[in-house]
A and B are shown apart, each in its own frame.
Chain A
Amino acid sequence: MLDDTDRRLLRHYQHAPDLPPAELAERAGVTPATCARRLQRMRTAGVIRGNHAVIDWRALGYEVEVSLRITLDKAQPNAFDELHAAARAVPEIVEIQTFLGRVDLRLSVIARDMAHYQQLYRDHILTLPHVADIEALMHVARIKSDELLPL
């Protein structure tokens, strides 16, 4: 479905998602019209799902980021859906991932400082339903975060 030109376009686009369309076309070596048409086609086909602004939470005073690795209590038939729904309602939980492996879920939580984190943990994390075990990992630094696909 995708040809080499599409892949070349995506390669340039994912490296610089804020490029103006004309410049993206030039870098990928296609005309602006071709570029616009192909991007639109890939959007319609669901290959390009979105282009999102990335917020720097540190700039907004959120200094703490914690990964919570959760093991579910699988004896409860609706454990997964109920925990998911409860976690979605907490604004400081910015990411929910589910896994096949040693852990079932991972929640990414941001907080202003350790006191704020402690309060979130007590009021919103420990109250999450059907949790059998939680391990917390504290983020120290991001070495690489571009999430580029090796196209």
Chain B
Amino acid sequence: MIELDTTDRMILRELSRDATQSASALGRQLGLSQPAAWRRVRRLRDLGVIKGRRLDLNREALGFGVTVFLGVKLATKGRMSIEDFERAVAAIPEVQTVEHILGLFDYRLRVVARDIADFERVLRRRIMMLPGVGEVEANVLLSEERFPGPIG
């Protein structure tokens, strides 16, 4: 497991707020020289603690008024059906995330659509046509909040 010191934690906190900050801006804020800040950011990236970046776009402003989470149960379970299902579902452009879960459902999908009519199209023509798909439950997203997590 990777050990972080207080400065690493502050860097993670800052970069999860805004990843576009330069090493010199970051250093100024945390009382580090530009090269020292740069080295630490690079180390966190090399260790895989920072695994990438995520652009946060305003979905509504871009015409995607509806986000729906679908719980999907597979009707048939075998190695082949799971692989076929995963490949096919990941290829649907409106499906933003696919998570394999244990519990009430087998998969959790995040789906974006322009409106409810558009969502119905995606559900009927894409999701319900997936190989092996069984029971589907839909919950429409109303609000969403993300937090930096237990950085300390």
A82 CB within 8 Å of chain B = no
CB distance from A24 to the nearest CB of B (A): 11
> How extensive is the interface on chain B, given as a class?
35 or more
The reply to whether A143 and B90 form a contact with Cβ atoms under 8 Å apart is: yes
Chain B 87-127 near chain A by CB (<8 Å), digits 1 or 0: 00110011111111111110110101000000000000000
* A56-B51, A101-B138, A146-B96 as given contacts; A46 in contact with B150, CB under 8 Å: no
The reply to whether A144 and B57 form a contact with Cβ atoms under 8 Å apart is: no
Chain B 115-152 near chain A by CB (<8 Å), digits 1 or 0: 00000000000000000000001111111111111110
- How many Å lie between the Cα of A60 and that of B139 in the bound state? 31
Q: How many residues of A contact B (CB 8 A)?
A: 59
The reply to whether A139 and B93 form a contact with Cβ atoms under 8 Å apart is: no
Cβ-closest chain A residue relative to B109: A144
B56 CB within 8 Å of chain A = yes
Chain B contacts to A: CB under 8 angstroms: 1-2, 4, 12, 15-20, 47-59, 61-62, 64, 69, 86, 89-90, 93-105, 107-108, 110, 112, 137-151
Chain A contacts to B: CB under 8 angstroms: 1-2, 10, 13-14, 17-18, 45-57, 59-62, 67, 69, 88, 91-103, 106, 110, 135-151
- Nearest 4 A-B pairs (CB), nearest first? A101-B139, A53-B15, A137-B103, A150-B93
